Amino acid sequence: MSIFQRLGRLDPRVFFTLLIFAVAIPIISPLGLPVPITQPVLDAYNYIENLPEGSVVLYSMSVAGGGWDDVGGGVIATMQHLFSRPVKIIIFSYFADSVPWVEYTLNNIDKHGKKYGEDYVWLGYLAGGEAMLAGLASSIRSITTTDAYGTPLDNLPMMKDIDNIHDIDLIVHAEISTIFEAYLRQFQAPYGKPIILICPSMMVTMYFPYYPNQAIGIIGGVRGSAEYELLIHRPGMASVSTDTLSTTHILIIVMIIMGNIGYYFERKIRRGE
């Protein structure tokens, strides 16, 4: 039997063994394979990268476990980028079950020497839905007078001169639900505040009409998150997913080509050509 015939009769166990390696290698060590950068992601990156020193960013987390795999990479990447810039960061959760994911994110990024209370503050879960957002815009202290740990805001050096939407320069909103319009109504429409949106892949088309006038940047799902990771040169969980898709697809394409080559030569042999 020629080598070409063997290609068409490859033991399926060989393919599945190779498939295991194709999946495992990017998980063990992200490859950071090239992914074309889309304009909405690049716009989000450039806006954060060019924030003036001392700018204040309000980071809203509306992400829970069910959607973390889709948008978590974008959350970590944008938070990592913000912590690398000379800006102040205020973080809060729109949903109670988002709280653990904020803690997880803060524990898994390089804070670049930023000090709690001086460079960033974690307000915890703020109840009230859209009414709460309206209250934040009017006065943060009308919604909460303490941070997530019970420390009075007035005792945190960073918060002494920050209290309402006019003190905020950028809003980053990460969600897996459909509440983005509330942020547009309470922050963007009345005050013109720029908003960067991180959302699941399936919501990108729904929110794309708001880009670039209401949402200055959109990071959509695993793909958008992987793009952002590449922009900050820190391949992470999203890059693992896109790397895995790339390596498995490459393997499947190679196996299809090999199978067709084997079939072609075996047919020639059967015909006596």
Does residue 123 sit within a domain? yes
User: Are both 180 and 132 inside the same structural domain?
Assistant: yes
Does residue 52 sit within a domain? yes
User: Are both 145 and 108 inside the same structural domain?
Assistant: yes
193: left (phi over 0), alpha (psi -120 to 50) or beta: beta
SS3 of residue 210 by DSSP: helix
The tens-digit pLDDT sequence of the chain (273 residues) is: 556 556 666 777 877 788 888 888 877 777 777 788 999 999 999 999 999 999 999 999 999 877 898 899 999 999 999 999 999 999 999 999 999 999 999 999 999 999 999 999 999 999 999 999 999 999 999 999 999 999 999 999 999 999 999 999 999 999 998 899 999 999 999 999 999 999 998 899 999 999 999 999 999 998 999 999 999 998 877 777 777 777 887 878 887 887 787 777 777 767 765
User: Are both 116 and 251 inside the same structural domain?
Assistant: no
* Residues in CB range of 103: below 8 A, 6 or more apart: none
| pTM for this prediction | 0.82
Based on the structure, what is the number of domains in the chain? 2
CATH number for position 81: 3.40.50
User: Are both 264 and 177 inside the same structural domain?
Assistant: no
User: Are both 52 and 161 inside the same structural domain?
Assistant: yes
Domain extent at residue 23: 3-28+244-270
User: Are both 139 and 47 inside the same structural domain?
Assistant: yes
Does residue 239 sit within a domain? no
| CA-based end-to-end distance of the chain | 15
Taking a C-beta distance cutoff of 8 angstroms, is the pair 196, 168 a contact? no
Q: How many residues in the chain? A: 273
Does residue 69 sit within a domain? yes
User: Are both 96 and 122 inside the same structural domain?
Assistant: yes
From CA 261, how far away is CA 249, in angstroms rounded? 18
